[in-house]
Structure 1
Amino acid sequence: MNTLRRGLLAFGRSSQILFALLAGAGGFYLFVQFGASDGIDVFDILRAALIFISTAWLAIGASGAFIGLLTRAPKQPQSTGPLSTRTVVLLPIYNEDPRETFARLAAMDESLQATGHGAHFHFAILSDTRDDARAEEEWHWYQHLLSERAGAGRMFYRRRSDNSGKKAGNIESFITTSGGAYDFAVILDADSLMDGETILTLTRRMEATPDMGLIQTLPQIVNARSRFGRGQQFSAAFHSPVFARGQAMLQGRAGPFWGHNAITRVHAFAESCGLPVLPGKPPFGGHILSHDYVEAALLARNGWDVRLDDDLKGSYEEGPENIVDHAKRDRRWCQGNLQHSKIICAPRLKWWSRFTFAQGILAYISPLFWLAFIIVSIFAPMTSSRAPNYYPNEYWSFPVFPADQTAKAISLAVGVIGLLIMPKFLILVKAALSGRTRGFGGAGRAALSVLVELITSSIMAPVFLMYQTRSVMQVLLGRDGGWPPNNRGDGQLGLREAWAASNWISLTGLFGLVAAIFLTPELVLWLLPVGLPMIAAPLIISWTSRPSRTWLYRVPQETEVPAIVTRHQAICADWQQAA
């Protein structure tokens, strides 16, 4: 069986890489071939190279979905009977609302106690809060938590005086000082919520697999309220399980760690995951921001298995409620992923770990390729002797798209329709045939939700492209984004706030379209789907941040609210009254 699995893993990985190369080569060939009719210059070659890179990147994501559609999660071994281990649930916090956050621990503790194995689990709140007033609130609500859950001796609170290394340093400090008391550690984020049965199952799977270093769950988004948030919540619930299944199959024993909603073997983590301080100054030097993927790679390097168990339910988190908050969080991830360029050649890493680092880097620099393609296409005629062809008419003249523009259209159709839309369409078909759409309001509602999500994500894509491009340029120019605290709450933004956060995007889009009108008028029609959303960025940001009242985007967590989510909401309400 192990030989078969290794063979399937090697076949899946090689197929993904081959598919990406073939897709990129196809886009390159089409662009050059159609551009040859009126001559090829250096800008045609440059644009063809950019098409190759961008199409290959899209193909990597699409192939993951195709593999996820064709595979199923294997049944994983787990122990039975009484537990023989002790597990600590770690909650690192940084300037969070302690009432909301500690209520999650109360709900999880209550759920664990209901399994009959609660005595085997402790909780540790690891505070990196810098604000003294907020720290006093944390201490108050920690005492309230102890009182409500009779947590003395099994619930602990510690605030670091020095938050060196941010979250990774916080966890490392606990592991080195107190980790010896535990076999496993469940690592959470401040907005994480996990059912007691899920935590118990993770523990049993770790007990049954001595060489397992870490198991990552697939968290589902809950409590989304805005149009943007509910769209993200629907996409995570409907599409992400298939993409995660493909990722789990391809990564095998060198799986991912997303920094939260996962369980690790404390001994393995302690011996493997001491993170270096990168040479030089931030943003490329200093403490590693995207530490989770590095920790997964270090575990795999030491021979420990790292696995994504996408079959597990009962793992939840909350997401940002507007585009601006998403972009702020994405800025930190961008800097962290680009730091991996200093780690990718570290000794003894698994080659798939190196490939994962390369994917993470490419995820942020790929928007630059699309933007460069657009810029080169607009300004190429300034240095080219070729002029646009126009078809004369008695009353007007209009451009005839030259061959290289036809190639662009074909590449765009193949890249967007074939590699972005087709996987989601196939996911919808399989969900309808298997009956999975029942949890999303039925096949009709699910289909319409997928269509609306595709349209809205396409409209928001140019805005995301600009935010990611700015993030990459800031890092390349040496600007350190740090680790800003996450914004919680409804996240609603007015037009003035949205304009302040995105006026530069609007002006860039306006400048680009005006330049295209004067330099390459035959391109204007093709640039409108990019330029108009950029110009309208403040309207898009403000509108999508408002509360969602649509009957679309139904997800199973709304059809049947998980018990752990309901219990957390009830505890929050009780504690609010107590306050």
Structure 2
Amino acid sequence: DLLSELQRDRRWCQGNLQNSRLIAEPGIHRVHRAMFAIGAMSYLSAPLWLAFMTFGTALWISGAAVVPDWHALPAELRGLWAWTLCMLFMPRLLGLAAVLLQRRQGGYGGTVALLCSAVAETVLALLQAPIRMLGHSLFVLVALTGLKLEWKSPPREATAISWRDAAARLSPMTAVIGLLALGIATIQVGALVWLAPVALPLLLAVPLAVLTSHVALGGWMRDRGVLLIPEESRSPAVLTRAWHHASVMAA
């Protein structure tokens, strides 16, 4: 579920930022330096995205003529958007093409189920991305300021999130976003159109977290091959042997 994922990300964020100190250490291969940098940027990109949106919204509201004509965008801005879309969707398209070309779609529930899974995963990722952005930004702030971090291992089994738990953890964020949206609407209503793809998932964070955590929904989708992976339909040999040895030792 989303809350457990964010709980794990909180610890991973602190670890990745701590490991980034090793980038400048002598004797480390440049590939490893790149891995440390990528690990840190996987979380540092969240506050950068938040700052980008904040400054862009502020410029819009202030009436600054950043772009004279939005119908004739500069080539640099079009290129930035094109590269961003490529980074977001190209790995998904290449992965989908690789499975289809290698004829391995049977392990993913078949061709139709695989395509449905790709669409479902993309939509879900788009809806959860703004929530992760705010969560990761908070985690980076906590890590950089040295605030105390309490780590409790999240549950490994599939568990549904209650409405009370989701509201307790996500409603403050939703309330802040709602107040900001209301304030922006009083100044410049048109800005809400551009902020809607990010603001709406944040406003719907509580029901989104609850609905996507339903075990019954996950079972229903798995029975139809949606979001199915080969390991769920046929367990790897190493896991089968491990389970066999575990059952023998337990007996």
TM-score by length of 1: 0.38
Partner of 2:227: 553
Counterpart AA for 1:446:
L
Given the alignment of the two structures, is residue 498 of structure 1 paired with residue 166 of structure 2, yes or no? yes
**1:56-455 counterparts in 2 under 5 A?**
322-381=1-60, 383-384=62-63, 386=65, 401=70, 411-416=80-85, 418-455=86-123
Q: CA deviation at 1:482?
A: 4.6
Partner of 1:542: 210
Partner of 2:193: 525
Structure 1 pair 479–433 and aligned structure 2 pair: CA distance change class (3 A): same
**Cα RMSD (Å):** 3.1
Structure 1 pair 494–568 and aligned structure 2 pair: CA distance change class (3 A): farther
Q: CA deviation at 1:557?
A: 1.7
Bigger relative CO (Cα 8 Å, ≥ 6 apart) = 2
Q: Distance in 1 between matches of 2:236 and 2:27?
A: 43
Structure 1 pair 385–462 and aligned structure 2 pair: CA distance change class (3 A): closer
Structure 1 pair 522–412 and aligned structure 2 pair: CA distance change class (3 A): farther
Native 8 Å contact 1:512 1:531 kept in 2: no
Q: Distance in 1 between matches of 2:98 and 2:66?
A: 49
Structure 1 pair 542–575 and aligned structure 2 pair: CA distance change class (3 A): farther
Q: How many residues align?
A: 245
**1:35-54 counterparts in 2 under 5 A?**
none
Q: Distance in 2 between matches of 1:405 and 1:539?
A: 39
Native 8 Å contact 1:509 1:535 kept in 2: yes
Counterpart AA for 1:478:
G
Partner of 2:131: 463
Partner of 2:55, secondary structure, is helix
Q: Distance in 1 between matches of 2:64 and 2:197?
A: 28
Native 8 Å contact 1:462 1:530 kept in 2: yes
Counterpart AA for 1:378:
T
Q: CA deviation at 1:432?
A: 1.0
Q: For residues 273-318 of structure 1, what are the alpha-carbon distances to aligned partners after superposition, in whole Å with 9 as ceiling and x for unaligned?
A: xxxxxxxxxxxxxxxxxxxxxxxxxxxxxxxxxxxxxxxxxxxxxx
Q: Distance in 1 between matches of 2:163 and 2:77?
A: 35
Structure 1 pair 331–387 and aligned structure 2 pair: CA distance change class (3 A): closer
List gaps (5 residues or longer) in structure 1. Answer: 1-321, 390-399
Structure 1 pair 451–405 and aligned structure 2 pair: CA distance change class (3 A): farther
Q: Distance in 2 between matches of 1:378 and 1:494?
A: 34
Q: Distance in 2 between matches of 1:487 and 1:530?
A: 29
Q: CA deviation at 1:357?
A: 1.6
Q: Distance in 2 between matches of 1:450 and 1:475?
A: 34
Structure 1 pair 376–435 and aligned structure 2 pair: CA distance change class (3 A): same
Q: Distance in 2 between matches of 1:387 and 1:330?
A: 35
Q: CA deviation at 1:383?
A: 4.8
Q: Whose Rg is larger?
A: 1
Q: Distance in 2 between matches of 1:340 and 1:450?
A: 33
Q: CA deviation at 1:525?
A: 1.7
Structure 1 pair 503–406 and aligned structure 2 pair: CA distance change class (3 A): farther
Partner of 1:117: none
Partner of 1:489, secondary structure, is coil
Structure 1 pair 431–488 and aligned structure 2 pair: CA distance change class (3 A): closer
Native 8 Å contact 1:509 1:532 kept in 2: no
Identity of aligned residues (%): 26
List gaps (5 residues or longer) in structure 2. Answer: none
Partner of 1:15: none
Moved more, 481-490 or 451-460: 481-490
Counterpart AA for 1:358:
A
Partner of 2:28, secondary structure, is coil
Native 8 Å contact 2:67 2:73 kept in 1: no
Q: CA deviation at 1:454?
A: 0.6
Q: Distance in 2 between matches of 1:513 and 1:412?
A: 24
Partner of 2:142: 474
TM-score by length of 2: 0.83
Q: Distance in 2 between matches of 1:481 and 1:344?
A: 24
Native 8 Å contact 1:378 1:520 kept in 2: no
Partner of 2:160, secondary structure, is coil
Partner of 1:231: none
Q: CA deviation at 1:413?
A: 4.8
Counterpart AA for 2:230:
P
Counterpart AA for 2:84:
G
Q: CA deviation at 1:531?
A: 0.5
Native 8 Å contact 2:160 2:213 kept in 1: yes
Q: Distance in 2 between matches of 1:510 and 1:557?
A: 41
Partner of 1:562: 236
Q: Distance in 2 between matches of 1:505 and 1:406?
A: 36
Q: CA deviation at 1:372?
A: 0.8
Q: Distance in 1 between matches of 2:154 and 2:178?
A: 31
Partner of 1:344, secondary structure, is helix
Q: CA deviation at 1:566?
A: 5.1
Structure 1 pair 566–352 and aligned structure 2 pair: CA distance change class (3 A): closer
